[in-house]
Amino acid sequence: MARVRYLGPEPVTVPELGPERVVHPDEVVEVPDARFEGYVCQTTNWEAVEEPRPEETETAAAPLRKTAAKPQKGD
């Protein structure tokens, strides 16, 4: 999870973080990685503390193996 700091002057309720979750000024909270940009784009209210970490997935490309080319017949 990513972390952001609330910069506003008064406490706010942030339902996305839990039912009736109140965030106070200068408080650092964890937010879902997928929603991180939705917080930090509001520069007057939130600032980034810890960005989401890129996750390694099974679909990530495997590193290429270098092998010598085989000689072709007829050359």
23 alpha carbon, distance to own chain's centre? 20
pLDDT, one tens digit per residue, over 21-45 is 999 999 999 999 999 999 999 999 9
What pLDDT, on a 0 to 100 scale, did the predictor assign at position 4? Answer: 97
Burial class (CB in 10 A: 0-12, 13-18, 19+), 46: buried
Which DSSP letter does residue 75 get?
Answer: -
Is 15 in contact with 8 (CB distance < 8 Å)? no
**pTM greater than 0.85:** no
